[in-house]
Amino acid sequence: MTPSNTRKPATEEELSSSSSTSPKPAGETPAPDPAAAAKERMARFRALQARAKTSSTQNLKEATRESQRLQADPSQLNALSRKHAIASHKLLKAEIEDAGGDFERKRAWDWTVEESERWDKRVKKKDAHRDDTAFRDYGRESEKAYKRQLRNMGDPDLERYTREKMAAIEKAAAAGTLEIVETEDGEMIAVDKDGTFFSTADSTTFAQHKPDKAAVDRLVENMRKQEEAALKKRRDREAKNGDDGDVTYINEKNKQFNQKLGRFYNKYTAEIRESFERGTMI
């Protein structure tokens, strides 16, 4: 007699169907979808294309702006800025005067005392420089060249110079060669007795002053720069005029006249000029 709980053996079809419908392990990831991956790659490609297009457009705009800036004339920009400032100044002045106010007083509110003093000093110096541009005499030109050299070399140590000068005066006064005299207005001056204190070109034996090495180096460097500048000007002038030889003219008209003579008579006077240069001309 067969027991009631006995099962029949499973067939191959049942085993295959049960294995296909059984749940997958928890650690196993599902296979990627090729369509979704392609769609994601296409979206990233579109984003990169848009980014490249935006960068190219910005670069083109910056290049165009830079080209326009380089082509613009700085003098014209300065002129426009100056005209704009003048127009703003006139407009503000008209508005304040129409309101019954004092324009100079109103404008002075925007300046401090130090700024106002610096501005007045600057205007005064500018006016003096404009009035001093014309040639007066060679003494004045030498003085301007001397001041220009001082600016290029650096401002001298006037305090040190004053101390050394006072020490030399006191030393000469103690030796009896100088006498300190007080004038009527209370000014103290030094009077030379025997002509040894700044009275002649040789009266400098009292001063035992020796400049430091830095000051000497500045003087030598300034002289070297002056020689280089003069040589450069001479070369530029010769290159401009085409004169590589001796200068045989005193001005531009004389140079043109000599060139005209040379075109007609150089072929006849070549031997005579060579004899003059050799020193064998009788």
pLDDT at position 210: 73
Cα distances (Å, whole numbers) of residue 134 to 21, 128, 166, 233? 111, 11, 37, 22
Compute the average pLDDT of residues 3-12. 50
pLDDT at position 20: 46
* Percent of the chain residues topping a pLDDT of 90: 0
Compute the average pLDDT of residues 53-61. 88
Q: Is the pLDDT of residue 160 over 60?
A: yes
Q: Against a cut of 0.75, is the pTM above it?
A: no
Assign 190 to helix, strand or coil: strand
- Both tokens assigned to 169: 């005066």
pLDDT at position 175: 74
pLDDT at position 279: 73
| Mean pLDDT of the chain, nearest integer | 76
Cα distances (Å, whole numbers) of residue 97 to 67, 90, 100, 111, 277? 44, 10, 5, 20, 79
pLDDT at position 7: 53
Compute the average pLDDT of residues 56-70. 82
Compute the average pLDDT of residues 149-176. 77
pLDDT at position 4: 47
